[in-house]
Amino acid sequence: QVLLAESGGGLVQAGGSLRLSCATSGLTFSVYAMGWFRQAPGKERDLVAAINWSDTSTYYADSAKGRFTISRDNVKNTVTLQMNSLKPEDTAVYYCAARRLVYSRQYSQYDYWGQGTQVTVSS
Protein backbone atom coordinates (compact mmCIF):
# COMPACT_ATOMS: atom_id res chain seq x y z
CA GLN A 1 0.00 0.00 0.00
CA VAL A 2 1.35 3.37 -1.03
CA LEU A 3 1.13 6.11 1.54
CA LEU A 4 2.06 9.77 1.32
CA ALA A 5 1.80 11.79 4.50
CA GLU A 6 2.30 15.54 4.63
CA SER A 7 3.31 17.43 7.73
CA GLY A 8 4.48 20.88 8.70
CA GLY A 9 1.49 23.01 7.85
CA GLY A 10 0.07 25.57 10.21
CA LEU A 11 -0.68 29.21 10.84
CA VAL A 12 2.04 31.77 10.18
CA GLN A 13 2.19 35.51 9.78
CA ALA A 14 2.96 37.08 6.46
CA GLY A 15 6.71 37.11 5.88
CA GLY A 16 7.22 33.96 7.90
CA SER A 17 8.38 30.52 6.87
CA LEU A 18 7.12 26.97 6.94
CA ARG A 19 8.74 23.70 6.01
CA LEU A 20 6.43 21.04 4.63
CA SER A 21 7.51 17.43 4.54
CA CYS A 22 6.02 14.45 2.77
CA ALA A 23 6.93 11.01 4.01
CA THR A 24 6.32 8.17 1.62
CA SER A 25 6.08 4.42 1.91
CA GLY A 26 5.10 1.52 -0.28
CA LEU A 27 6.68 2.82 -3.48
CA THR A 28 10.14 2.86 -4.97
CA PHE A 29 10.64 6.49 -4.11
CA SER A 30 13.82 6.94 -6.14
CA VAL A 31 12.00 6.40 -9.45
CA TYR A 32 9.17 8.79 -8.72
CA ALA A 33 8.92 12.46 -9.46
CA MET A 34 7.34 14.40 -6.62
CA GLY A 35 5.14 17.43 -6.75
CA TRP A 36 3.66 19.85 -4.28
CA PHE A 37 0.24 21.13 -5.24
CA ARG A 38 -2.01 23.54 -3.44
CA GLN A 39 -5.70 24.21 -3.51
CA ALA A 40 -7.45 27.20 -2.04
CA PRO A 41 -11.22 27.22 -1.48
CA GLY A 42 -13.07 27.59 -4.75
CA LYS A 43 -9.91 27.31 -6.81
CA GLU A 44 -8.24 24.61 -8.84
CA ARG A 45 -5.43 22.46 -7.57
CA ASP A 46 -2.22 23.95 -8.95
CA LEU A 47 1.34 22.74 -9.04
CA VAL A 48 3.58 24.81 -6.83
CA ALA A 49 6.86 22.93 -7.18
CA ALA A 50 8.08 19.60 -8.49
CA ILE A 51 11.25 17.58 -8.71
CA ASN A 52 12.22 14.77 -11.04
CA TRP A 53 13.19 11.30 -9.88
CA SER A 54 16.86 12.01 -10.51
CA ASP A 55 16.90 15.33 -8.64
CA THR A 56 18.27 16.95 -11.78
CA SER A 57 15.25 19.01 -12.70
CA THR A 58 12.87 21.12 -10.69
CA TYR A 59 9.86 23.22 -11.48
CA TYR A 60 8.44 26.22 -9.66
CA ALA A 61 5.28 28.12 -10.34
CA ASP A 62 5.89 31.80 -10.91
CA SER A 63 4.27 32.51 -7.56
CA ALA A 64 6.82 30.29 -5.83
CA LYS A 65 10.02 31.28 -7.57
CA GLY A 66 12.56 32.82 -5.26
CA ARG A 67 10.57 31.95 -2.15
CA PHE A 68 10.02 28.18 -2.18
CA THR A 69 12.55 25.38 -2.48
CA ILE A 70 11.75 21.75 -3.16
CA SER A 71 14.18 18.99 -2.25
CA ARG A 72 14.15 15.24 -1.91
CA ASP A 73 15.95 12.66 0.18
CA ASN A 74 16.09 9.30 -1.55
CA VAL A 75 17.41 7.64 1.59
CA LYS A 76 14.60 8.83 3.85
CA ASN A 77 12.03 8.67 1.04
CA THR A 78 10.85 12.18 1.74
CA VAL A 79 10.25 15.36 -0.19
CA THR A 80 10.36 18.77 1.43
CA LEU A 81 9.03 22.17 0.50
CA GLN A 82 10.71 25.07 2.23
CA MET A 83 8.48 28.12 2.03
CA ASN A 84 9.86 31.53 2.89
CA SER A 85 8.45 35.04 2.71
CA LEU A 86 4.95 33.66 2.91
CA LYS A 87 2.04 35.76 1.73
CA PRO A 88 -1.67 35.58 2.55
CA GLU A 89 -2.28 34.36 -1.00
CA ASP A 90 -0.23 31.26 -0.19
CA THR A 91 -3.05 30.12 2.08
CA ALA A 92 -4.28 26.75 0.85
CA VAL A 93 -4.25 23.04 1.47
CA TYR A 94 -0.91 21.70 0.27
CA TYR A 95 -0.69 18.21 -1.18
CA CYS A 96 2.27 16.09 -2.15
CA ALA A 97 1.91 13.77 -5.09
CA ALA A 98 3.98 11.12 -6.85
CA ARG A 99 4.36 10.28 -10.51
CA ARG A 100 6.85 7.97 -12.15
CA LEU A 101 10.10 9.54 -13.33
CA VAL A 102 9.24 13.03 -14.57
CA TYR A 103 6.91 15.62 -13.14
CA SER A 104 3.85 16.96 -14.84
CA ARG A 105 2.00 20.21 -14.29
CA GLN A 106 -1.30 18.37 -14.58
CA TYR A 107 -2.62 17.00 -11.32
CA SER A 108 -4.45 14.25 -13.20
CA GLN A 109 -1.10 12.79 -14.22
CA TYR A 110 -0.08 11.89 -10.69
CA ASP A 111 -0.55 8.40 -9.36
CA TYR A 112 -0.50 8.89 -5.61
CA TRP A 113 -1.58 11.67 -3.28
CA GLY A 114 -1.33 12.59 0.34
CA GLN A 115 -4.23 13.85 2.43
CA GLY A 116 -2.99 17.42 2.47
CA THR A 117 -1.85 19.87 5.10
CA GLN A 118 -3.37 23.28 5.74
CA VAL A 119 -1.22 26.36 5.41
CA THR A 120 -2.72 29.62 6.59
CA VAL A 121 -0.87 32.90 6.26
CA SER A 122 -2.28 35.82 8.18
CA SER A 123 -1.76 39.41 7.12
Q: In order along the chain (123 residues), what is the average pLDDT of each group of 10 residues?
A: 97 98 97 98 96 92 98 97 98 98 95 98 96
β partners of residue 95: 37
Helix, strand, coil: what percent of the chain each, to 5?
5, 50, 40
In the prediction, which pLDDT does 56 show? 84
Specify whether the CB–CB gap between 49 and 36 falls below 8 A.
yes
Amino acid at 90: D
Phi and psi for 85 in degrees, rounded to 5?
50, 50
Report how far residue 43's alpha carbon sits from residue 66's, in angstroms, rounded to the nearest whole number: 23
* Per-residue model confidence (pLDDT) at position 18: 98
Write down the pLDDT at residue 54: 87
**pLDDT at residue 68, rounded to an integer:** 98
CB 9 within 8 A of CB 20: yes
92 exposed, middle or buried (CB, 10 Å; 0-12, 13-18, 19+)? buried
